Amino acid sequence: MEKNTPCIAMVPCPGTSHLIPQIELAKKLLHLHPNFTISLLIPSLGPPSPSTTSILQSLPPSINIHFTILPHINPQDLPPNADIPTLMLQTVSHSLPSLSQALTSLASSRTRLVALVLNAFAVDAIDVAREFGLPAYVYYPSCATALAFSLHYPKLEDDDGDDGIVVCRKFGELELKEPLKLPGCMPLRAQDLSDLIQDKSTALHGTLLHLCKRLCLADGILVNSFVDLEPEPIKALQNVAPVYPVGPIVQTESNISSNSSECLAWLDNQPTNSVLYVSFGSGGTLSPEQFNELAYGLELSGHKFLWVVRAPNVGAADSSYLNAQKDDPLEHLPKGFLDRTKGRGFAVRSWAPQVEVLRHGSTCGFLTHCGWNSTLESVACGRPLIAWPLCAEQRLNAALVSEEFKVALRPKVNEKGIVGREEVSRVVKCLMEGDERKEMGRRMEVFKDAAVKAFSKDGSSTKTFETLVTKWESLKN
C-alpha cells in the first residue's frame, strides 16, 4: 500500500445498531471508490460482545476495512444509573486519549489520513480531528426529518421562543402550543417528540443538548436518507448546513447461523406474501403486560407470523440495548402459545437474519419498532409496516412512515398505554388482508425503486459520494 492511499478514520459508538450502519457506510464508500481504505476505531465499555465480534470477523477480506477496538474505559468513570445515550456519549468522551493514540499510529503508517467520520454520539471527537488538522464529518444514521429536529433542539425553550412554541410537561406528558413546523418537514406533534424533548432538569436533556450543539461544529453531516425519500427536508437542511444525503445505507446480508437459518427454512415452506415479520430491533423490549397482549393478538389474528422474541422487561424499553439478555425469551410466552400457533407461527430467540427475512417471498409485512435501520431495510425490500415505536426518535419515524409516506399502519394505544390484543389482531388483519395493504404496498414499491435509483450511476447518493470523495482526495495531509 502506497503512502498516498487516502484513509478515512471512522468512530462508531457502543452498540451493534450503531456499528452496523457505520460498517455499511464504509462498504458503500469502498464499493464506489475502492482506492480508499477505512479504519474503524471503536470505543468500548468492555470486552466486545459476541455479536460485535461476529460482525467484525465477518468483514470481507477483499475490501480495505480495518478495525481497532480501543481500550475499554473504566466503568467507575461513568455516572451511576446513566441512560443509554449518556453512556454512549461518555464512553466515547473517555476514549478520546486512546483515539488520539490510534490516529497518531495511523498517521505514521503507509496511508494518508484525509478525514474523520464520527457517529452522532461521537461528536466530542471533533476536537481530536482539529488537533490532527483533519476535517470532521458526522454520520447521522437516522432520517433527514430527525436531523432537522436535532439541529433545532438547542433553540427550544420552556417559555415562548422566537417560533412561538411553548414546551412544557404536564403530568409527565409533553405539551406543545402548536405542532413544531421545521422548514421542509411535516408538522411534528407532541406525541411524535415525547421521547426527544426532555425536561431541563434531567441528565438526558444535557446529553441531547450537548450532542445537538456539537453537530453544528462538524465540517459536514452525512445523513442516511436520499433525495427521493425526503426531498423537502433535505433541501431545507442544505440551505442552512453542509448536509450530504448518502442513503439508503442498509445491510445487504446478515450473518447466518445454524439457529437463524431455521427460520429461513420455515419461511421456505410458507405461501407467498403470507407471513408477518415481528421484531423490535437489537435491544427493544416490551413490558410483561404488553408482551402478553402482543402474543395473544398475533394468535387472535389467525395469520402466519415470524416473531423475534425478546424477554419482557419492567424497565426502559431500551434497557437491554448494551446488555445481552440472559433469560430464555420463549419461557415468557403465554402458556400453550407455542402449541396453539404451531405451524402458523415461528418464534425465534432474540435475533433473526432480518435482511433475508424481509427479502423472502413469503414475507408480506413488518411489525417494527421503527428504528431507522429497520425502516430503510423495509423500504429496500418493499415491505409495508405496522409502526410500533418504543423510544428515542422512533415515534418521529413512525409518524413519518404512517402519515407522510403512508406505508405504515399505527396501532391505537388504550387508556393504560397498552396496545390490546384486539387492536393487535385488527392491524395485523388490515396489513395482511385489507384494501390498505395493496395501496401501502404500491407506495412502498415506488420507494423501493427510488432507493435503487439513488445508487445508480447518476443517482443522487452516488453523486453525493463523488462530491465528498473529491473533497477528501484534494487534502494534502
Measure CA 19 to chain center. Answer: 10
With 60 as the cut, is the pLDDT of residue 160 above it?
no
Output the pLDDT for position 177.
83
Q: What are phi and psi of 99, to 5 degrees?
A: -65, -40
* Spatial distance between the Cα atoms of 409 and 366, rounded to a whole number of angstroms: 10
Q: Which of the residue ranges 205-209, 298-302, 364-368, 473-477 would you say has the lowest mean pLDDT?
A: 473-477
List, in order, residues 6 or more apart from 185 with CB less than 8 Å away.
145, 148, 149, 232, 233, 236
Element (H, E) at 290: helix 288-301
Are the C-beta atoms of residues 31 and 3 closer than 8 Å to each other? no
DSSP-derived letter for residue 392 is T
pLDDT digits (tens, 9 = 90+) for 292-318: 999 999 999 999 999 999 999 876 655
**Position 151 confidence tier, pLDDT thresholds 50, 70, 90:** very high
Which of 31-35, 57-61, 420-424 is modeled with the greatest confidence? 420-424
Q: What is the pLDDT of residues 199-231, one digit of tens each?
A: 888 889 899 999 999 999 999 999 999 999 999
Higher pLDDT, 134 or 111: 134
Bigger pLDDT: 286 or 319? 286
Residue recorded with cell 445491510: 251
Distance CA 123, CA 197 (A): 20
Please tell me the distance from the alpha carbon of residue 147 to that of residue 240, in angstroms, as a whole number: 12
**pLDDT (tens digit per residue) in 79-113:** 888 888 999 999 999 999 999 999 999 988 878 99
Question: What's the confidence (pLDDT) of residue 14?
Answer: 81
How many other CB atoms are found less than 10 A from the CB of residue 473?
Answer: 15
Kindly indicate the confidence band of residue 52, based on its pLDDT and cuts at 50, 70 and 90. confident
Nearest Cα to 84, choosing from 240, 232, 195, 249?
195
Residue 150 burial by CB count (10 A; 0-12/13-18/19+): exposed, middle or buried? buried
| Residue-range domains of the chain with CATH | 6-147+203-247+454-473 (3.40.50.2000), 258-451 (3.40.50.2000)
DSSP state of 160: -
Separation CA 398–CA 394 (nearest Å): 6
CA dihedral 354, 360, 365, 369 (to 10 degrees): 0
- Calpha distance 425→433 (Å, rounded): 12
Averaged pLDDT, 24-45: 94
| pLDDT value, residue 369 | 97
- Read off the C-alpha cell for 28: 458503500
Q: C-alpha distances in angstroms, 87 versus 25, 122, 415?
A: 24, 11, 33
Q: Give the pLDDT confidence score for residue 159 in this predicted structure.
A: 46
pLDDT tens by residue, 375-393:
999 999 999 999 999 998 9
Model confidence at 51: pLDDT above 50: yes
Q: Give the integer Cα–Cα distance in Å for 28 and 37.
A: 12
Instruction: Look at residue 257 in the predicted model and tell me its pLDDT.
Output: 59
pTM score of the predicted model = 0.94
Q: Which amino acid is at 123?
A: V
Closest CA to 136 of 144, 128, 147: 128
pLDDT score recorded for residue 261: 78
Asked whether the beta carbons of 358 and 378 are under 8 A apart, the reply is yes
Helix (H) or strand (E) holding 221: strand 220-223
Q: How far is CA 65 from the centre of its chain?
A: 21
Separation of first and last alpha carbons in the chain:
17
Q: What is the pLDDT of residues 448-472, one digit of tens each?
A: 999 999 999 999 999 999 999 999 9
- Rg, C-alpha atoms of the chain: 22
Other CB atoms closer than 10 Å to residue 367's CB: what's the count?
A: 25
Of residues 96, 89, 91, 92, the one with CA closest to residue 131: 96
Distance CA 153, CA 21 (A): 24
Residue pair 391/316 in contact (Cβ under 8 Å)? The answer is yes
